Each structure stands twice: as C-alpha cells, then as structure tokens.
Amino acid sequence: MNRPLAMSPSTRPRIRPALLARLAVLAACLPGGADAGGTGPAGKDALTELAPVTINRVRNPGDLPYAGFLQSIRHLQSYLPPEPRVLDLRLRLSFTGLGEAERDAYLPDTWAVAIVGDTFDHPVAVERGGYFLLPELPQAANEGATIMFNAQTRKDYMQVAWKFRVAPGQTLAYADFAKAFDEVAFVQKNIPLYRINLRDERLARFDGLKACFHPGGGRIEIDGQPAPTTNVGACSVLRFDPAIAKAGQARIAFVGPLDTVTLHETVR
C-alpha cells in the first residue's frame, strides 16, 4: 500500500520570525486590516465608488485582424476561375443566435462592419442579409487595424457566400445555374490543404440557389412555370435538377422585388 509521504523536520519550510513581523506590518497597512482602526469598507479609507459609465459596444469575440483576414480573402480570390464567371465572392456576417430567416432579413439601421485603426474608422457598406465586400486599405494594414462588428459574431470566423450574376430582367439560364457548381469546384480543388483558414470553403457543399426578395416577397419560375421551391422567410430555395440542366435551354426567372441570389449551402 502506498502511504502519504511524510515531511521530515529537515525538509519542512521554515518561516523566519523577521519575515512574520514584516508580513504583519504589511497586513496592517491594507484597507480593512486587523489593526487599521476602522479603515475597512465602512471606514474613512473605503474605496470611492466610480461614477456610472455608458458602454457603447459590448466586446465581440468575433472581431478579426484586418491584415490577416484580407490576406486570406486574397488567397481565395486567386483560386477563382478566369472570366467570364457566373458567381462573385461576398463576405457575410457570421451571426450567432439568429435563425436562417432572421439572418436573411437582417438590415442594419446603423453601422454593422467597420475597420478601426489607431487613427481612423472606416465603416463598410452592408447589404440586406449581412453581405459585404472588404475594401483594400493600406493604412489599415499598416496600423494593424481590426474588423469590428456591431453584432455578436462567431469567433475567428467569417462566412463566405457565392452571389449569382443575375441578368437584366431578373433571369438566369439554367446552364449558368449548373456552371456555378463547376466554378465552386474549381476553387475548392485549388485550395491547398495547408490553407487551414480556408478549410470551410474547401469542404462546403451546395445543393441549389436561394433567391431573397424585398418585403412583399416574390417567386421563382422556370420557363414561365412555378418552380418547386422551399420558402424560408422572404427567400425561396430552388434545388438543382441535373435533368433540367441536361435538357438544354431552360431559363429561371425571379418574379418580384429581387434582392440577392446566392448558392444555397447544404446543412452540415
């Protein structure tokens, strides 16, 4: 049986009397010390309460370093296929605590994204749904600026979205719908495994498109007929059908006050 180790007299720590005396003096000097003569919380030396302050912004663990994140976006853009393309990259706020319909309807009534350095603040335009582009600001990189969000967002993460280039008249060839999957596959194939910060983009899977409309709503049609869609709030999700793409010249129409059309990511 193992026994507790006993400490021999020779190995026990010894506290010298002089040290004890110094500790006693220090204790007496502290507020509320045993010999402080009533200088505790109710005494004359009690700490004065600070005046109330107004906190304009709760700390957001989702804030990101500008220079490092801009470099990641440059890498991702370098993997895009050559023009002409049917998709463009967009960034999106990585909301916490909001459902899909709430995220799609999000429209800030004040600033939502800002790049903040030592000597400047640069608000970034944000579209409905939390979509935005990150501007190139040499001064921000030089000052070690931060991308700040006026909403609670995921830590060390920014969502990437793929936005369709919709033709005038709010139409999209079904062949371009199919081409969008090829473009994303091209990007994912070119992302090296060592780009750990682009892992989510490399592994993302998509199953259709999502068309979001302004208040009042809208619908999706294929060759003039109502398309089989799933509605999420003011948005409609259309799953990709290879048979329609193979058939040839089908055309998708977005009927109503259209806002944004993006690739719809499969729920992981």
CA-nearest of 217, 243, 244, 242 to 231 is 217
3-state secondary structure of 242: helix
Residue 84 makes CB contacts below 8 A (sequence gap 6+) with: none
DSSP state of 60: -
Q: Tens digit of pLDDT per residue, the chain (268 long)? A: 443 333 333 333 443 444 444 444 444 444 544 444 444 444 444 555 555 544 355 557 789 999 999 999 999 999 999 999 999 999 999 888 888 999 999 999 899 999 999 998 999 999 999 999 999 999 999 999 999 998 888 888 889 999 999 999 999 999 999 999 999 999 999 999 999 999 999 999 999 999 999 988 899 999 999 999 999 999 999 999 999 999 889 999 999 999 999 999 986 5
* Model confidence, pTM: 0.76
